[in-house]
Structure 1
Amino acid sequence: MSAVHVVKEIYIYPIKSLAGISVQSALAEEMGFENDRRWMLIDAENQMITQREHRIMSQFYPQISDGKISITFKDQKHEFSINEHLQNSLEVDVWEDKSEVVEVNHETSKWFSQHLGFECKLVKIMKNGDRKHESSKLKETFNVSLADGYPYLLIGSKSLDFLNDKLDEKITVKRFRPNIVISSQSEHEEDDFNTFKIGEVQFKNIKPCGRCIMVNNDPENGKLKKEPLKTLSKYRNVNNSVLFGTNIVSLNSGNIKVGDALIF
């Protein structure tokens, strides 16, 4: 008998708010998958830069190979070493959290500044503990990356199917920037998961994920649409928060891969 809940897709997003990378396997760590949202763009006032204000960021495509990250934007390409960074640290805000980061290098910051049209820097979070996020629900503090709040976002396939049945223009799961997509039996059942194991890793569900206008940004072309937030708000609005997918944390490190079953 085949497992009901199986990992269908895995994504990492090396640089916050840029396009993601589909992978077949990934190393899960406390902060999130290895190389997932360890980098972020900040402006001249050291404020984080995201697709919420700059939709064009979805058109920057990263790849990882041979210890380097390459970024492609239109017909331009730039690369830097995963381990590369300057020495002086900066303190930046990721929503309500303080995070210690370092700039990657001046040339990379200059390249992004030229293509975004304003001064910015590419920075990196260096180690576990450089940003801590407190769960208001659990009253527990987690070491996290530069993701919005939690290290991992999980989405069940039936949740997307249920939404697409209501949309005139179908969308892909990429709109929601998940880390893990699983096969599921019913819509939004992932909201009620407790603890479960994938591969070598034990995960814990924290809370369903509240969504913002960013899910209306079409990653294929960077254009802002009215959907899916308009439709989701009609049936997934809970306490003025539109929910889709669920935030989870890992309780240990280890590898997971596409095809792994969820063990409850």
Structure 2
Amino acid sequence: MSYIVTELYIYPIKSLAGIAVSSAKAQEMGFENDRRWMLIDQNNELITQREHPNLSQFYPEINEGKITISHQDSTHEFFMDEHIEKPIFSKVWDDDTQVVEISKLTSQWFSDALGFSCKLVKILNNGDRKHSSSRLNQTLNVSLADAFPYLLIGSKSLEFLNERLEEKVSIKRFRPNIVISSLTAHEEDFFDTFQIGNVQFKNAKPCGRCVMVNNNPATAKVAKEPLKTLSTYRTSNNNVYFGTNIFCLNEGIIAVGDVVNF
């Protein structure tokens, strides 16, 4: 049996809902348009589902150079290249990050929808955020994702977890970029270098998970699962692991149905 790409996702705005795509352009920072935008508060600190689970109820769509956001009975759209020139200095966890605000109008729409003052910002350039990996002994140019540009999950890992859960969960809980058909649970942790389409990827490290996976993306209801069950068999060094972080060695297009070659 071959390993085959079964699903691809991008998350244009960090911590908002994702978009399933049939193909995507792999770039150093991550898939094109993946986590190039994020919300920040009045102190220029990032806003995520960890504190605001209802961010999962904001649904982006990309069409003809615009992003349209739907939330409850309201929608808002902005041009993908729209921004105010003045740089803003923020952080994504420990990484210094330079971003720009999209517009006062867009920031106001999100502020009204969330009930507190915030701004929608964008990372413009390769290198505006760098992430240093002690494990890899190298520094990567990354998007506004938590740490690494891509998250890969094998199908058997989810099956293995769901066999242990009373209420099954979907892969969307774990916000992967690439889902592949796999042979055994968590074998993706041990991948080294591999190729999809004409793009070479390299494994960085298994992905440590946080409470965000307990937020049901369909309802924004937070429970104790699946992290509670995962922690019983996937804990190491005080982290609970699911999926693996990867980065690409060259640019190119990958698509659902592509074979993974080692």
**Fold-level similarity (TM above 0.5):** yes
- Describe how 1:162-177 pairs up with structure 2 within 5 A: 162-177=160-175
2:192 is the alignment partner of 1:194: yes
Shift of 1:136: 1.7
| Partner AA of 1:87 in structure 2 | E
2:106 is the alignment partner of 1:112: no
Structure 2 gap segments, 5+ residues each: none
- Describe how 1:27-176 pairs up with structure 2 within 5 A: 27-176=25-174
Q: Among residues 14, 18, 36, which one is paired with 1:16 in the alignment? A: 14
Shift of 1:4: 1.7
Q: Distance in 2 between matches of 1:138 and 1:221?
A: 37
Runs of 4+ in 1 over 6 A off after TM superposition: none
- 1:221 — aligned with what? 219
Q: Distance in 2 between matches of 1:121 and 1:74?
A: 20
Spell out, residue by residue over 1:1-41, the C-alpha distance to the aligned partner (whole angstroms, 9 max, x if none).
xx521000000000000000000000000000000000000
Q: Distance in 1 between matches of 2:47 and 2:139?
A: 24
2:3 alignment partner, SS class: coil
1:218 alignment partner, SS class: coil
Q: Distance in 2 between matches of 1:179 and 1:116?
A: 26
2:219 alignment partner, SS class: coil
- 1:259 — aligned with what? 257
Q: Distance in 1 between matches of 2:134 and 2:62?
A: 35
Shift of 1:97: 0.1
| Partner AA of 2:241 in structure 1 | L
Identity over aligned residues, as a percent?
Answer: 65
Q: Among residues 218, 230, 238, which one is paired with 1:240 in the alignment? A: 238
Structure 1 gap segments, 5+ residues each: none
Count of aligned positions: 262
